[in-house]
Amino acid sequence: MRYGRLDRRARTITVVVLLLLVGLCVALFLTSGGANYLAAWTTSVAIALVALCMLSLPRRIILSDEELELRCLLETTYIRLSSIVDVEIVEGSGLSRKLPLLGTCGFGGYCGFWLDLATRRLYRCYIASRRQCVAIHTSHRRYLISAEEPTLLREQILATKARCAREE
């Protein structure tokens, strides 16, 4: 199953941040004169941050009989089906009343750790589109995941979990 496409807000934030970073690097390069250390350092940090964000974004969602895999370019997150307590579709914006603690905040998506202000719970977010979110509650962690078809993802997770429980 595919990870969802970026919504309009995430695309806008991504373009604006990239333009600001390029503008800052060019301005520092042009104004630094003979000492290009600051411009080179800023450019290196900007490239490293952009690369880190892009490598951490999910690319595919794979559901097997034992676990749900969120595959990124750099890492893979495994969610064991036996530890899933609840799967629900999040209505409206999946990030309403949530505060970003550490993550991309719209640059290439909404990934990272977000605090739900209403329930005071920590969520690990892998969101491309804020309108197509599925909340997965496990025994020890909570996830927000966006998919192109959230109802289909929810049904597949629950069906696979029920089938595996019957086999045991």
Mean pLDDT by groups of 10 residues along the chain of 168 residues: 69 86 80 70 81 77 89 85 90 76 79 86 85 88 87 89 78
pTM above 0.75, yes or no: yes
Residue whose tokens read 């951490």: 56
CA distance 59 to 74: 10
Please name every residue paired with 102 in a beta bridge, in sequence order, or none if there are none: 113
Report pLDDT for 35: 64
CA distance 131 to 155: 18
Report pLDDT for 125: 86
**Domain, as residue range, for 105:** 1-168
Please name every residue paired with 58 in a beta bridge, in sequence order, or none if there are none: 72
Report pLDDT for 94: 65
Closest CA to 60 of 165, 168, 146, 155: 146
CA distance 160 to 14: 36
Report pLDDT for 136: 92
Q: Are 98 and 123 in contact (CB under 8 A)?
A: yes
Tell me how many domains the chain contains. Answer: 1
Residue whose tokens read 């893979």: 76
Sign of the torsion angle spanned by Cα atoms 160, 116, 109, 151: positive
* Residues 6+ positions from 19 with CB-CB distance below 8 Å: none
Report pLDDT for 138: 92
SS3 141: coil
DSSP 2: B
Report pLDDT for 1: 53
Report pLDDT for 142: 92
Report pLDDT for 23: 86
- Cα of first residue to Cα of last residue in the chain, in angstroms, is 26
